[in-house]
Amino acid sequence: MSTTAIHLYCLYSVTEIKALSHQGYPLTYELTTESGSQSNEFAIDHSSGMVDLLRILDYEKDPQQYHLKVKVIENGRPARTSTVNVCICMAVDFGMC
């Protein structure tokens, strides 16, 4: 996880993908935006898959939705990868996403 992350609470956890690891090798998680660039708002713990905030978001000024991609790498031989799409919504009504 980035050392600048604000650990307010876990926004999302990609741990359910661990079921894909049949060989028992360690998993590594990488987070990017939908376009493939690094996120300025979120960070991921590379070993647990927990997504945290890098800064406090402003409901009135920031986007209402963030579309991210989490790449999960099983560090075996050969290494296997999988990608999960994640939508994080800033909303009072969580039914909006």
| pLDDT, tens only, 5-54 | 444 445 666 655 554 555 678 888 999 888 888 888 888 988 888 888 88
Residue 80 neighbours by CB under 8 Å, 6+ apart = 20, 73, 74
82-88's contacts with Cβ under 8 Å and 24+ in sequence apart are: 82/17, 82/20, 84/14, 84/17, 85/34, 86/12, 86/14, 86/51, 88/11, 88/12, 88/42, 88/51
**Mean per-residue pLDDT for 62-74?**
86
For tokens 């713990």, the residue is 45
**Worst-scoring range by mean pLDDT, 27-31, 83-87, 89-93?**
89-93
Domains of the chain as residue ranges with CATH: 12-96 (2.60.40.60)
Confidence band of 95 (pLDDT split at 50, 70, 90):
low
First to last CA, the chain: 26
